[in-house]
Amino acid sequence: MSAFVAARPRYTLPFAGKDYELLGTFGMIEAVEYATKAHIGVAAVQIVNGMPVNELAKVISAVLTACGHKVSADEAGASLMDVVGLEGEDNQVLRFHLYAFLSICLAPPSAREKKAHQMGELIGKLTGASRGKTTDASASAPSACSPPSSGVPTPGP
């Protein structure tokens, strides 16, 4: 049996230093639509296209609360301000995670697994490309001033 259940998409949302398990249900969709006063598809696009922070806090609250993690919009807003940041890379990653989850929920049941893989690749590219570490300062990294190593060890002092 597959771990993926198309009728109830599951997702792990990293938010403010904690991972939240989300479950895509009709009640969750209703909560987001009520919080944003917009169709869920419109809300998903607005999240990544610059939804104001106060509205984003409402979406986070609606999603988390509907999934069993009671978080008020004020608490979500405080976490955005104090932990995630109101702008910047962490804020954008959070927005893409929310977009990914809602996109999976909106896909037809037969296409949700494929959509989940697509969103996973998108998030992987976003977080992998921007969070990579450089080895320039590493002791083993060649510097521009040193000649390339011949691979033969040199005797120490």
Q: In the prediction, which pLDDT does 127 show?
A: 80
Q: In the prediction, which pLDDT does 129 show?
A: 53
Q: Provide the residue count of the chain.
A: 157
pTM for the model: 0.75
Angle, helices 89-106 vs 53-66, to 10°: value is: 50
CA pair distance 55, 47, nearest whole angstrom: 9
CB 84 within 8 A of CB 43: no
Q: In the prediction, which pLDDT does 8 show?
A: 80
CA angle 112, 115, 121 (to 5 degrees): 145
Q: What are phi and psi of 60, to 5 degrees?
A: -60, -45
CA angle 105, 16, 128 (to 5 degrees): 70
Q: Which two tokens stand for residue 140?
A: 């083993």
Mean pLDDT by 10 residues, the chain (157 residues): 63 94 95 96 95 96 97 97 93 95 93 92 78 42 38 42
Q: Which two tokens stand for residue 27?
A: 């009640």
Q: In the prediction, which pLDDT does 138 show?
A: 39
Which residue bears the tokens 């998030």? Answer: 123
Q: In the prediction, which pLDDT does 63 show?
A: 97
